[in-house]
A and B are shown apart, each in its own frame.
Chain A
């Protein structure tokens, strides 16, 4: 220990390799190697975001964790971010600390969900974020390391350690990192952030707690309704095989499908309105998927919708240019956690 402008304990190590081994040994990583969060690096990151180390970004009330800018910057350095990424990570944590996000419950749950992050606005281009090929996976440093920063914060600041606070039965690969940019330049639609109240031209993030993405494919029609019937079938499958509870769902719609909607003059709102009507199951349908034991506990003719209203559906333009694919992202636990959009402040 020695004097430091930071509240965090300081360790002296020989080099980056020894730092990595120290953090691995202490369980401070997701298992992948880390970049050493030196005092200098953390100071550079905070300066880039115009933040003081002691600034409180958000509070998780159940475990009484004040998430300081210092700890967020440490995680961002460890994850491999560049300093200019930090305002995005900060905005994500602010979003996830809003009460409607239910940060503790979604982190601790056996349901094993992950924060899914969508970035909008000029910051996407400034940071070189990926919105096209392989968008839900590896594609750019910014996507990968911003998403990873969130996991390291959940791990180290909230104590979301598997088997301890994180009680996930399975989890999914998005828990390592799950961050995309929307392809605003190649989309006929309003950006997600603008639809959710952020001024056009401003940068923002949207965080949503999701289960693993389900990829769909339909390249045998130009009818927008038929395309959406395929997406809705995946939602019905989720209602039956995973969770019947209504809440936020997200669609990731690549260009080939977007062109069909554009040709038909369909906006995101048209998509939401149609999906709201068709994405539902009847309680008795549970009998067809091995859940007869609970189907009869209530009125089996009762209809369960995937969405409480059309606004529950988040439509995101992203993905490679070719292929009749798309993805649905189901909610962790219905409306227990809601998507939150947060503008960047620096």
Chain B
């Protein structure tokens, strides 16, 4: 006699998320940058923005700062990011 045991894991609810297709070029692109309030993010994003603009021709960077690293991006901030061609979602440590 065998045992019938259950899978303990759970996948995410809702639609399956996939990586967005990569942009062919950053030239003229709008890039969203979400500072997730981790220490040092501002300096890091200043540096990245400079590279994106000078070396890759990025037209605009939309920069916003989350109130808290430990919680989801507030919906209004997410809506502001919807106009971007690509988004840097966070930094980790």
Which residues on A are within 8 Å of B, measured CB to CB?
2, 4, 6, 8-16, 18-19, 22-23, 28, 36-39, 42, 61-68, 70-71, 74-75, 78, 99, 102, 104-106, 109-110, 152, 156-159, 167, 333, 336-337
Segment at the interface with A among B9-17, B22-30, B43-51: B9-17
The 3 tightest CB contacts between A and B, nearest first, are A105-B70, A64-B12, A8-B6
Measured between alpha carbons, how far is A179 from B93 in the docked complex, in Å?
30
Given contacts A6-B6, A105-B68, 8 further A-B contacts (CB under 8 A): A8-B8, A9-B6, A15-B3, A39-B6, A62-B71, A65-B13, A104-B71, A109-B70
Closest to B93 in A: A110
Shortest distance in angstroms between B2's beta carbon and chain A's nearest beta carbon? 5
B51-89 at interface with A (beta carbon < 8 Å): 68-72
Residue in B5, B6, B70 whose Cβ sees the most chain A Cβ within 10 Å: B5
Interface of A is mostly: mixed
- Contact status B8-A152, CB under 8 Å: yes
- Evaluate contact between A156 and B8: CB separation under 8 angstroms: yes
When distances are taken between beta carbons in the complex, the residues of chain A under 8 Å from B12 are 63-65
Alpha-carbon gap, A61 to B7, bound state (A): 22
Which residue of chain B is the closest to A158 with respect to CB atoms?
B10
Q: How far is the CA of A119 from the CA of B84 in the complex (A)?
A: 48
CA gap between A39 and B7 in the complex, in Å: 10
Determine whether the beta carbon of A36 is less than 8 Å from that of B9: no
Instruction: List chain A residues, Cβ under 8 A from B72.
Output: 61-62
B4 is an interface residue with CB less than 8 A from chain A: yes
Would you give the shortest CB distance from B4 to chain A, in whole angstroms?
A: 5
Instruction: List residues 13-41 of chain B with CB under 8 A from any CB of chain A.
Output: 13-14
Report yes or no: B3 in contact with A336, Cβ–Cβ below 8 A: no
A105 CA to B92 CA, complexed, in Å: 12
A223 to B44, CA, bound (A): 52
With A37-B8, A71-B8 as given contacts, are A64 and B14 in contact (CB-CB < 8 Å)? yes
Given the complex, which residues of B lie within 8 Å of A156, measured CB to CB? 8-10
Question: Chain A contacts of B70 at CB under 8 A?
Answer: 102, 104-106, 109, 333, 336-337
Question: Is there an interface contact between B9 and A28, defined as CB atoms closer than 8 Å?
Answer: yes
Pair A157/B10 contact, Cβ less than 8 Å: yes
B5 in contact with A19 (CB, 8 Å) = yes
| Distance A74 CA – B8 CA, assembled complex (angstroms) | 6
Q: Which B-chain residue is minimally distant from A106 (CB atoms)?
A: B70
B3 to A28, Cβ gap below 8 A? Answer: no
Q: When the two chains form the complex, which single residue of A10, A110, A159 contacts B5, counting CB atoms closer than 8 Å?
A: A10
